[in-house]
Amino acid sequence: MVTEEQIKKIGSVLNNKERPLKERFRALFTLKNLGGEDAIGEISRAFADDSALLKHELAYCLGQMQDKKALDILTKVLEDTAQEPMVRHEAAEAMGAIGDASIIPILEKYKNDPVVEVSETCSIALDRVKWIQSGQSVDDTNPYASVDPSPPAENKSVVELKAIYLDPKQSLFDRYRAMFSLRNLRTEEAVLAITEGLKDSSALFRHEVAFVLGQLQAPCSIPFLKENLEDRLENEMVRHECAEALGAIATDECIDILSRYAEDEKRVVKESCVIALDMCEYENSPEFQYADGLLNLKK
């Protein structure tokens, strides 16, 4: 049993700006895994930080915890226009992941937000909440432990799924559904189909594509992720997600690419590469778990 005192100690690592970002990330994921009201409280305190990357990850973790107690702080973050677009977007996505009907009015309001990543995310989150509320059963063949922004589509061939996935006339929700079905197939053909989404016109869509490629950890996707990371005109939210995907794949080539961008002029990209290199180290080590905040308390 983890005590309140231990959670506070892990929270103090997360909220200490003097600690290396990689340590703070590991503390965050420890709190996510522990769950509960105290962990949510410690995570919520960190929204006062000046790192957009960290705040975006806070929102992601709160969504994955699927605890309604996080909805108040996530709503505040979404409503706070002083927060960076990638942070507000992630707060909206997290609200959709929690999936409670009480958030429908706030998502309806912000689906017309002037920031396109925020408005698109609210639209997808609304579709997810309404889908859950309609009582449809989830045919969830998700081999990953993630709570996705949409359920997978019905079983179709790669060709059929790819046609929906790449069709800009389809809703983002349905295109996401096709993407998650392609991901769940875990074949090289499906991975290569997914990489084509990195050229989509929507930055939100491209960033989710990169996230999914990070889950798949397929070396065949490296050249495509590298191309978007290296494009200095690319949206920083997309470049960040490409960096973290390369960190999950963790080959020598990935380490080389990430090392080159660990001093990028965009803070979000630079910090993402630092976190991704820490992930590479973890993937290539005998360490038992990435979220090692409890272990570090014993040192």
Is residue 207 part of an annotated ligand binding site? yes
Q: What is the pLDDT of residue 71?
A: 99
Is residue 281 part of an annotated ligand binding site? no
Residue type at 167 in one-letter notation: D
Q: What is the pLDDT of residue 298?
A: 61
Answer whether 1-137 and 150-288 agree in fold: yes
Q: 1-137 maps to which CATH number? A: 1.25.10.10
Is residue 56 part of an annotated ligand binding site? yes
Q: What is the pLDDT of residue 28?
A: 97
Q: 150-288 maps to which CATH number? A: 1.25.10.10
Measured over the CA atoms of residue 111, residue 117, residue 120 and residue 122, the dihedral's sign is negative
Which single residue is written with the structure tokens 């570090």?
296
Is residue 241 part of an annotated ligand binding site? yes
Is residue 271 part of an annotated ligand binding site? no
Where are the chain's structural domains?
Answer: 1-137, 150-288
The residues, any chain, with a CB within 8 Å of residue 53's CB and separated by 6 or more, are 21, 240, 267, 268, 271, 272, 275
Is residue 89 part of an annotated ligand binding site? yes
pLDDT in tens, the chain (299 residues): 889 999 999 999 999 999 999 999 999 999 999 999 999 999 999 999 999 999 999 999 999 999 999 999 999 999 999 999 999 999 999 999 999 999 999 999 999 999 999 999 999 999 999 999 988 766 666 788 799 999 999 889 999 999 999 999 999 999 999 999 999 999 999 999 999 999 999 999 999 999 999 999 999 999 999 999 999 999 999 999 999 999 999 999 999 999 999 999 999 999 999 999 999 988 887 775 666 666 676 65
Q: Count the Cβ atoms, other than its own, within 10 Å of residue 256.
A: 11
Is residue 57 part of an annotated ligand binding site? yes
The residues, any chain, with a CB within 8 Å of residue 72's CB and separated by 6 or more, are none
Is residue 236 part of an annotated ligand binding site? no
Q: What is the pLDDT of residue 157?
A: 95
Residue type at 189 in one-letter notation: E
